[in-house]
Amino acid sequence: MNLRDLRYVVTVADLGHFGRAAEACNVSQPTLSGQILKLEQQLEVKIFERIGKRVQPTRVGSEIISHARRALAEADEILAAADASRDPMVGGLRLGVIPTLAPYLMAHILPRAALVLPSAPLVLVEEMTRHVMARLREGQLDAALIATEPDGDRLEQRELFDDPFLLAMPASHPLASTESIRLASVDPCSLLLLAEGHCLRDQALELCSNARMATAAADVRASSLETLLHLAAAGYGVTLGPSLAWEAREGSGGRLVARPIAEKRARRRVRLVWRYGLPRAAALEALARVVRDRAPRCVVKIGGERTAGD
């Protein structure tokens, strides 16, 4: 067993196809297939099975692939540690960003990051929180920008800013005439929510606890915040959205208005997180400062306090 064979296995799992995996690994398909077969013979288990034209892991194969990802991540970190000992500010940074942050924040961040970290270009991956955190744990990402408290794993985190929620609604809505809105006044049957898996959906339900009993009528299972805002503008309901999203729409006109929430708890805290002990920590500290400094004025910035998760 060697790292090369583990990379073959992981690439086949990611692409679901031996031919494409061989191309990605710059080897012939017979070479890749033969090495995986030898590994299966060594382990005395079947890692993959063919279902029609598809290739998918067996039950034990899925477990082996998970271990392989961690082994490859550790091997990559050995190389990264050696590189970082020479210069931690050199080399691309793989950054995961959740979909309700990326469209509204990264345009403010990227130009300054390019100046502050000229030898560490950002490689962005936009996915929901659970996928971003899984990639982070497996070493596929160096850091992640998230808007929830990271769970369980030993992670380093920097709290950057609080993003207050607003209630977005059509201009004709009765609540549009008020300066600020109490959550208890929001009709749960009118609340538009993102699909399950989005942290913004969970945050909205937590704030509007009575909405849990009415989501069958209100939940359109949208996959993007922009969809919810367009639906609200069209009169299909109201939605809780972060200030960042509204700031990006200001000046665009239209039938949508937004009002602040009276309760101070109606906000999400944005953090930069990475694995504890990562050799590139100095570059990530610099990135955290860039995000905090360049975030739009609509957010409430947090001082540079250090926190660590267990």
Which of 155, 166, 169 has its CA nearest to residue 237? 169
The CATH number given to 89-161+269-308 is 3.40.190.10
Tally the C-alpha atoms within 13 A of residue 189's C-alpha that lie toward its C-beta: 1
Q: Which helix (H) or strand (E) holds 307?
A: strand 307-308
Residue ranges per domain, the chain?
3-83, 89-161+269-308, 163-260
Residue 198 · residue 206 · CB < 8 Å: no
Rounded CA-CA distance 200/158 in Å is: 20
Per-residue pLDDT reduced to its tens digit, 286-305: 999 999 999 999 999 986 44
Rounded CA-CA distance 149/276 in Å is: 16
Per-residue pLDDT reduced to its tens digit, 238-255: 999 999 998 877 655 568
Measure Cα distances from 20 to 13, 26, 36, 120 in Å: 11, 10, 15, 29
Residue owning tokens 């398909």: 29
* Same fold across 3-83 and 89-161+269-308: no
Rounded CA-CA distance 59/97 in Å is: 30
The CATH number given to 3-83 is 1.10.10.10
Residue scoring higher pLDDT (198 or 218):
198
Prediction pTM value: 0.72
Structurally, at CATH architecture level, domain 163-260 sits in: 3-Layer(aba) Sandwich (3.40)
